[in-house]
Amino acid sequence: MAESAAISASEAKELTSLVNNLDITRPSDAEKDKNEAGEAAAGEQDDTASPADTSLLRKIIRKGLVESKQDLEIQRKDPSSPLYSVKTFDALRLKPELLKGVYAMGFNAPSKIQETAVPTLLAHPPQNLIAQSQSGTGKTAAFVLAMLSRVDTSENYPQVLCLSPTYELAIQTGEVAAKMAKFCPDIRLQYAVRGEEVARGHKLDCHIIIGTPGKMLDWGVKFRVFDLKKIRVFVLDEADVMIATQGHQDQCIRIHKHLSKDCQMMFFSATYEREVMEFAEYIVENPVIIRLKREQESLDNIKQYYVKCRNQEEKYQAIQNVYGVITVGQAIIFCHTRKTASWLATKMSKDGHSVAVLSGDLTVEQRLAVLDRFRDGKEKVLITTNVLSRGKC
Ligand SMILES: Nc1ncnc2c1ncn2[C@@H]1O[C@H](COP(=O)(O)OP(=O)(O)OP(=O)(O)O)[C@@H](O)[C@H]1O
């Protein structure tokens, strides 16, 4: 590991692998089960983040694109309908201001999923799409580009609606849209999330609404501050997280019922379970389905070490040995419980390391602040429980 002041955008992908480097003890399954049972019996707190929190934290950590060597799997009902693919953003014939926004974000060429997803989303007549690929492969950028290019700024009413499972995820999407639309000042965006209020009887004059299902249902169906029948593009993002959040799926379906038949449907998910596909097929008629298989997340230039330890003290000794032998710029250390995380943080701080702890007892805002500080290099060691991962580490 090279010495570095901070984890840069291009190094973001290495974060996951760094974890493997310093995840020093990987006991056999039997030993692991025994340890876990022991810790649970001792009443320790096991951190499990909600799917929405996990998704948000992954977005924050992963500032760069996950490059994929996997082939796309494409399915469509009508094989005679044309399927487009592009290798450059120029080939999309975007409005010049929008293209300028894309390049200003540092996007030189479409990602693997964008090569097919974006031209499909921009096709005439509009084509419905279901796209599944892991976090960081460029889905958000793809649909935001499509949302922005479908807006007709000569009409002053909402034309594009994007549903996200939580406030934080909606804001993340809105921020991407605002950046990409930097040179399109006529496009107006409105959030439909907690804290945003519109007076009854008022009619929205923005072009794009990004929000959570409950608020969107209130605005579109209960208060009718915009006309769902005039929506031309409907985006359902993070469908797998949506399903996992109580009540959201029903709310999405209720909103969807009020849309016009010719509204273009865009459905995105990081995973591809049966429930997600059933939901997708209910919402999206006659879609093109694009899937990108999961990329192996370890890099060829990362070495992985395995140290067998009998107890916590030996694990600590192993960490000290790693620090003694190689120059560690920044490291993430995963612990099974909050108690171990806090114990380790105290020990390492006493040894002179600048340490931050990320665990489930922090609010989402606090966790984002911890991650931001770590990314800025203010702390060199991040000790975390499994709030960054759906599995145990
Ligand atoms: N064509 C591109 N070239 C370079 N960077 C890109 C490109 N498309 C997206 N990115 C960047 O890659 C990162 C991941 O992209 P994006 O958020 O669109 O992926 P995603 O699949 O929606 O993942 P997530 O669900 O975690 O948001 C972002 O930082 C984004 O700015």
**Contacts of 344 by beta carbon, 8 Å cutoff, 6+ apart:** 316, 319, 333, 335, 383
Q: Break the chain down into helix, strand, coil percent, rounded to 5.
A: 40, 15, 45
Above 60 in pLDDT, residue 348? yes
Atom number of ligand 1 nearest to Cα 106: 4
Q: List the domain boundaries for the chain.
A: 52-292, 306-392
101 in contact with ligand 1, CB cutoff 6 A: no
Residue-averaged pLDDT of the chain? 82
Ligand 1 center to residue 211 CA distance, Å?
Answer: 20
How many angstroms separate the CA atoms of 173 and 211, rounded?
9
Query: Cβ distance 324 to 41 under 8 Å?
Result: no
Superfamily of domain 306-392: P-loop containing nucleotide triphosphate hydrolases (3.40.50.300)
ipTM reported for the complex, 2 dp: 0.96
Ligand 1 center to residue 64 CA distance, Å?
Answer: 6
φ, ψ of residue 155 to 5 degrees: the values are -110, 130
Ligand 1 center to residue 292 CA distance, Å?
Answer: 14
* Predicted local confidence at residue 41, as pLDDT: 42
- What is the mean pLDDT of the segment spanning 32-39? 41
- Give the range with max mean pLDDT: 55-69, 204-218, 287-301: 204-218
User: Lowest mean pLDDT: which of 22-36, 138-152, 221-235?
Assistant: 22-36
Nearest CA to ligand 1 atom 1: 110
For 209-220, the pLDDT digits (tens) are 999 999 999 999
* Predicted local confidence at residue 386, as pLDDT: 63
* Predicted local confidence at residue 326, as pLDDT: 80
* Predicted local confidence at residue 336, as pLDDT: 83
For 372-387, the pLDDT digits (tens) are 888 888 999 999 876 5
- Predicted TM-score (pTM) of this structure: 0.74
* Predicted local confidence at residue 48, as pLDDT: 60
How many angstroms separate the CA atoms of 137 and 112, rounded?
8
64 in contact with ligand 1, CB cutoff 6 A: yes
User: Are 52-292 and 306-392 equal in CATH topology?
Assistant: yes
Nearest CA to ligand 1 atom 3: 107
107 in contact with ligand 1, CB cutoff 6 A: yes
User: Lowest mean pLDDT: which of 40-44, 56-60, 114-118, 167-171?
Assistant: 40-44
138 in contact with ligand 1, CB cutoff 6 A: yes
Is domain 52-292 classified as CATH 3.40.50.300? Answer: yes
How many angstroms separate the CA atoms of 135 and 212, rounded?
20
Atom number of ligand 1 nearest to Cα 58: 26
165 in contact with ligand 1, CB cutoff 6 A: no
Task: Please list the residues that pair with 94 across neighbouring strands.
Answer: none
Q: Which residue has the higher pLDDT, 55 or 32?
A: 55
Ligand 1 center to residue 124 CA distance, Å?
Answer: 25
173 in contact with ligand 1, CB cutoff 6 A: no
How many angstroms separate the CA atoms of 388 and 332, rounded?
11
For 82-117, the pLDDT digits (tens) are 677 899 999 999 999 999 999 999 999 999 999 999
3-state secondary structure of 234: strand
Atom number of ligand 1 nearest to Cα 109: 1
Atom number of ligand 1 nearest to Cα 55: 26
